[in-house]
Structure 1
Amino acid sequence: MRIFLGLFLAALSISVHAESGAPSSVKVQLQDYYFDAARRGDVPTLDTFIEAGYSLDTRDSKGYTALILAAYHGQGEAVEHLLGAGADACAQDHRGNTALMGAIFKGEMQIARRLLAADCSPDQRNGAGQTAAMYAGLFKRLELLDALAAKGADLNAEDSLGNSAARLATGQIRTVVPR
């Protein structure tokens, strides 16, 4: 399968450079293989995409990148390969969530620590105004909360409801009051 995929990607690369691009169904199928490899942690297949020069920050319909999917699904080795090849650790999905936020949510602490080492702002916010530190506080990932603070995260920054990482870590959660 990997040899076939490599040959297919090479042929696609040649046709993209020779013409205006590959048919959309072929691109969709390649994206499906790529994202599936990230979810499953299929490093040999990811390496085939990397070696073929495939765009590592390609997004699916929800804005997920392969790195976001690999982090969320606990695929540490895939995360390492994607980061090593230049995948954008700061990329946000359509809701503004990052790979770091997904790893914290899922409790993938080793992956979260690796992503924390990337050159991203520790106060990057999603569409609801939440930061990775707020996720760490909410889910009681206190060792990661300390690491985020050491990187410069503002533990008192608030989301649109007035939640901060510091308050969330102590169990104080503000929610929308029903009318």
Structure 2
Amino acid sequence: MRIFIGAVLACLAFGAWAEPADPAKLKTQLQDYYFDAARRGDLDMLNTFIDSGYSLNTQDDKGYTALILAAYHGQGPFVERLLNAGADACVQDKRGNTALMGAIFKGELKIAQRLLATDCNPDQRNGAGQTAAMYAGLFKRVELLDELKAKGADLNAEDPIGNSASRLASGEIRTPTPR
């Protein structure tokens, strides 16, 4: 018993001399753990963050949220848990891309279908003026085009270059004209 009490007192004494934790470093470390859990699909870690009240829509320096990263990396159960816990599927990264756009780009069809069930605008545009339907057309995700259309997506909406989801799906790709 004396050894245990001595060990506790020693820890307390050494703890008093320890440097106080830098809040900015702690915040960065927490974000790193959170985003790494999203990439790997670590549900136990995610549940710890959810239980502690961590902001699920936290963004990294590129604007990525855990939902965007999990969708991009094919972590379906992680995506589902985030959505059920209240993560916002409509959040855009710094380029304006959403989790849905990332899932379509990577060919994660089940995740994309789950994200389509959220309340996001189906014609939400990224910084280049592209929509999720344009991604689906470009990458030949025909089944998603049908679902996007059923949700109200305008398959004839054009980006600034003149590409539309329907044109892209048929193989017609417009590129910027050289200056």
Bucket of the pairwise TM-score, normalised by the shorter protein: 0.7 to 0.9
Mapped pair 1:69 → 2:82: no
1:161 and 1:75 mapped to 2: Cα distance?
33
Q: Mapping of 1:60-99 within 5 angstroms?
A: 60-99=60-99
Which residue number in structure 1 is paired with residue 111 of structure 2?
111
Give the Å deviation of 1:178.
2.6
Give the Å deviation of 1:49.
0.1
Mapped pair 1:155 → 2:158: no
1:127 and 1:133 mapped to 2: Cα distance?
15
Amino acid of the residue matched to residue 102 of structure 2?
G
Give the Å deviation of 1:176.
1.2
Structure 1: give runs of 5+ residues left out of the alignment.
Answer: 1-21
The number of residue pairs the alignment matches comes to 158
Aligned to 2:55, the other structure's residue is in SS state coil
Amino acid of the residue matched to residue 104 of structure 1?
I
Give the Å deviation of 1:166.
0.4
Offset from partner CA, 1:70-100 (integer Å, 9 cap, x none): 0000000000010000000000000000000
Which residue number in structure 1 is paired with residue 132 of structure 2?
132
Offset from partner CA, 1:102-153 (integer Å, 9 cap, x none): 0000000000000000000000000000000000000000000000000000
Which residue number in structure 2 is paired with residue 178 of structure 1?
178
Q: Mapping of 1:3-42 within 5 angstroms?
A: 23-42=23-42
Which residue number in structure 2 is paired with residue 4 of structure 1?
none
Q: Which runs of 4+ in 1 moved over 4 A?
A: none
The higher radius of gyration belongs to 2
2:124 and 2:177 mapped to 1: Cα distance?
26
Aligned to 1:126, the other structure's residue is in SS state coil
Aligned sequence identity (%): 78
Mapped pair 1:59 → 2:59: yes
Q: What TM-score, normalized by structure 2, do the two folds share?
A: 0.87
Give the Å deviation of 1:177.
2.3
